[in-house]
Chains A and B, each alone.
Chain A
Amino acid sequence: MTEAVSGLAERFTALLGPGGVVTDPVRLATYECDGLTNHRARPALVVLPDDGAQIAEIVRACVAAGVPYVARGSGTGLSGGALPRTDGVLIVTSRLRRVLEVDVPNQRAVVEPGVINLDVSRAVRADGYYFAPDPSSQQICSVGGNVAENSGGAHCLKYGFTAHHVLSCEVVTPEGEVVELRADDPGYDLLGVFVGAEGTLGIATKVTVKLTRLPETVQTLLAAFDSIERGGTAVSAIIGAGVVPAAIEMMDALSIEAAEASVACGYPPGAGAVLIVELDGPAAEVEHQFAQIRALCEEAGAFEIRVAADDAARALIWRGRKSAFAAVGRISPAYLVQDGVIPRTALPRVLARIDALSAESGVRVANVFHAGDGNLHPLVLFDDAEPGAAERAEQVSGAILDLCIEHGGSITGEHGVGVDKARYMPRMFTATDLDTMQMVRCGFDPAGLCNPGKIYPTPRLCGEAPGVRKGVHPLVEQGKADLF
């Protein structure tokens, strides 16, 4: 522990009490990583504040001492966004779990950042409302983490992402000021850029979220195809017909096999791909569109279509999809979860290329994806006991991102850049693009202490005037050499 940090430890103990400060190495180890376990760093100090005012004090003390700090919600992030600094403070929001206000007439709720995503919906369900962003991790991830990652879920096809469901945030800025960023206020939409900034522009201490009316009806269908191509054709046909379902999810044969082995979801045997389509909304509307979708799936060659008759049947259909990540653990000792995006019309082409990559390298890839918006989650399987296997898997996983970029897509649709994908940013953006984005960061965090080292491979020196670059960082240079 450096002198600066031990000074902070004393201050924070006075502020939070001994129970609010973690210095014991064994306990510190539990905070070494988020959901992406291959990046690890033991924080110098962990603090567990009770409210926003304490967070502001902690940040101000860190800034005064020149010590970097990182916010952490539930630690389920999949890009190392909450990866601590060994020389810094990790500020954990797990004690900020109060739903402060539910305002049904105004369709909003005010919550603390550590509140679990699903608990927002639980608090308002009886009133006929819910919080629409539904990441698969919603039973454990925090609203603060959702804000930072601009998280989405299967249903964001129709309902949008966290950015569309946050009305305002009380924020402790990287310099320790407390400011309310509201979507409605005149001036720059700083809330708009704060959401999705992966905790690099300050710490949210209160979040006002929009509540969405529960739909009158929900209908869910499972369609089985003999190939991914046929499934892809069905997706294009549905979108082409002007229908926007709540969700369109697809799984390939390998991920079906894994899900079957794990949760016995009973999907139609012999399916090369299954499509899960969910419609929700006014009853007449859903009924009409459901018939349309059914017909389109049949036309595209679905050999079996199942319709969920009730909530239990719906849960069964979703069980296979929702268990897919964990289930892959049953058929492979280890795997990487990739997150990339392509224009949905490129789906068949890109999937064929992923197949080819897999065949060439001998690395198995299971495909699970949010087909409606082209968000791929290829699971790259490997045996961590086999020398070189992890590296080969890593290569295939990276090559999949290159495919996404080549087809006009993105290196991440929902898991964020974090530390994991910073090195891929120069493949998607030019040095000037990245420099321009970081102007925002320099405006918020001139000292560069708030979650440093995330998103951008090369930090911008905030003192520099725009446009006067003195040489390019070697990493960027390499990135560019890769790209062009």
Chain B
Amino acid sequence: MATARTALEKVCGDVRADAEHGLTAAPASVEEAAAVMRAAAEHGLAVLPQGAGTRAHWGPPARRRDLVLDTRRLDRLVEHAAGDLVVKAEAGLPMGRLAAALAERGQRLALDADPASTVGGTVATGAAGPLRLLYGTPRDLVIGLTLVRADGEIARSGGKVVKNVAGYDLGRLFAGSYGTLGLIVEATFRLHPRPAVSAYVTASYTDPDAAHAAVQAVLHSPVHPSAVEVAAGGGGIAVGVLAEGATDRSGAVAALLGPGASADASPPAWWGRRPGGGILIEVTGRPTDLPRLLRAAPALAWSASGHGWTALPEDADPAPLLAALRAIGGAVVRTGPARVMQGPDVWGPLPALPLMRRVKDQFDPGHRLSPGRFAGGI
């Protein structure tokens, strides 16, 4: 390790070592990051890319970790081409700073990102919030990516134009890859104008079928919502609809939600929140699975496009709930105590796992990038 440290110090201005974390290197440029990755390859170090650490505890812990590659000094906003609705930023830039810069020009990256999280972490974990109904997740909004491979080579895919089909789209492959394929160093995103009017229309229900009927009414209407969210737990079921644009459509939405619906310019307290609990489970399903999910899960935060969250107390056995959820759709444990995260029940079925392993073997033949953090033990 001492020689590895010396090698890292030669190429990177910020290398630290302490008993708890081992080695940490924080490169300040793409080239420096590549040099760090090259040195790590030469010394066979297992590398854990990390941004602000807002999701560092998500997923199983790494099997091996010799070097944390801290991206937070890679924090430049490289280019905001406002007229083209495109922004390019380095991986360590906090999403909050990015959002503030975009807001100055009346634009946004439609991901509901955690302001403390970084660009790289957001892409690597595929993080998205309620707006996913209309705008999707990072895989849908990343139009260009710069990455450093396990061997330290810098590679790019995509570009800075929204419409582009030249070559494979590595942006989509790297979105949600949790640092297991390479180090994301820059990302270019498609942006959207900030709407002039935002209305949050909410109503509450007691019966899962009534809540579901309200959600379906909105989805199949022409009101064109940006988000349709459901929050259940502790009794009632809240349904919230975000209608954005140049005009106020809250009246039309309220009519669909039924008597008792009310509109507000700001989101309700539960909007975009995940249920609390030591064991956090990401849930997927079809829109019509909602009533069954509401009955199966103790608490549920659900985006109508078919994605949500539920949670259990830290000391609970998640197996029965996971089985119930997987009989409906998908369920992945995102956080939990070691006994759960190191157990066999984190991911559920992975039909494409052999193919995933082969892709992983190409990008990281030595299995040194975040080993064990990903689906199927990748």
* B275 neighbours in A (Cβ, 8 Å): none
Are the C-beta atoms of B219 and A412 separated by less than 8 Å? Answer: no
Q: Which positions 165-202 of chain A face chain B at CB distance < 8 Å?
A: 173, 177, 179-181, 183-190, 192-193, 195-197
Which of A17-25, A64-72, A234-242, A314-322 sits within the interface? A234-242
Residue in contact with A285 in the complex, picked from B224, B286, B363, CB distance below 8 Å: B224
* B360 neighbours in A (Cβ, 8 Å): 188, 443
Are the C-beta atoms of B84 and A425 separated by less than 8 Å? Answer: no
- B249 contacts partner chain A, Cβ-Cβ < 8 Å: yes
Provided the pairs A164-B140, A187-B356, A467-B149 are in contact, do residues A285 and B287 lie with their beta carbons within 8 angstroms?
no
Are the C-beta atoms of A466 and B151 separated by less than 8 Å? Answer: yes
Are the C-beta atoms of B224 and A343 separated by less than 8 Å? Answer: no
* B86 neighbours in A (Cβ, 8 Å): 343
- B358 contacts partner chain A, Cβ-Cβ < 8 Å: yes
Give A151's nearest chain B residue, CB to CB.
B165
Are the C-beta atoms of B172 and A189 separated by less than 8 Å? Answer: yes
* A160 neighbours in B (Cβ, 8 Å): 136, 140
Q: Which positions 190-238 of chain B face chain A at CB distance < 8 Å?
A: 192-194, 196, 216, 219-224
Are the C-beta atoms of B351 and A180 separated by less than 8 Å? Answer: yes
Are the C-beta atoms of A149 and B165 separated by less than 8 Å? Answer: yes
- A161 contacts partner chain B, Cβ-Cβ < 8 Å: yes
Residue in contact with A440 in the complex, picked from B159, B173, B192, CB distance below 8 Å: B173
- B359 contacts partner chain A, Cβ-Cβ < 8 Å: yes
Q: Which positions 110-169 of chain B face chain A at CB distance < 8 Å?
A: 126, 136, 139-140, 147, 149-157, 159-169
* A373 neighbours in B (Cβ, 8 Å): 161-163
CA distance A247 to B20 in the complex (A): 55
Provided the pairs A432-B155, A436-B149 are in contact, do residues A343 and B160 lie with their beta carbons within 8 angstroms?
yes
- A448 contacts partner chain B, Cβ-Cβ < 8 Å: no
* B306 neighbours in A (Cβ, 8 Å): 106, 184
Are the C-beta atoms of A285 and B352 separated by less than 8 Å? Answer: no
Provided the pairs A288-B246, A466-B362 are in contact, do residues A188 and B177 lie with their beta carbons within 8 angstroms?
yes
- A152 contacts partner chain B, Cβ-Cβ < 8 Å: yes
Give B282's nearest chain A residue, CB to CB.
A186
- B101 contacts partner chain A, Cβ-Cβ < 8 Å: no
CA distance A215 to B330 in the complex (A): 31
- A281 contacts partner chain B, Cβ-Cβ < 8 Å: yes
CA distance A62 to B365 in the complex (A): 28
- A114 contacts partner chain B, Cβ-Cβ < 8 Å: no
Which of A31-39, A329-337, A413-421 sits within the interface? A413-421
Q: How far is the CB of A219 from chain B (nearest CB, A)?
A: 13
* A428 neighbours in B (Cβ, 8 Å): 159, 166-167
CA distance A466 to B219 in the complex (A): 47
CA distance A84 to B200 in the complex (A): 54
Are the C-beta atoms of A282 and B85 separated by less than 8 Å? Answer: no
- B81 contacts partner chain A, Cβ-Cβ < 8 Å: yes
Contact with B along A426-437 (1 / 0, CB 8 A): 001110111111
- B78 contacts partner chain A, Cβ-Cβ < 8 Å: no
| Max chain B C-beta neighbours (<10 A), residue from A189, A216, A373, A414 | A189
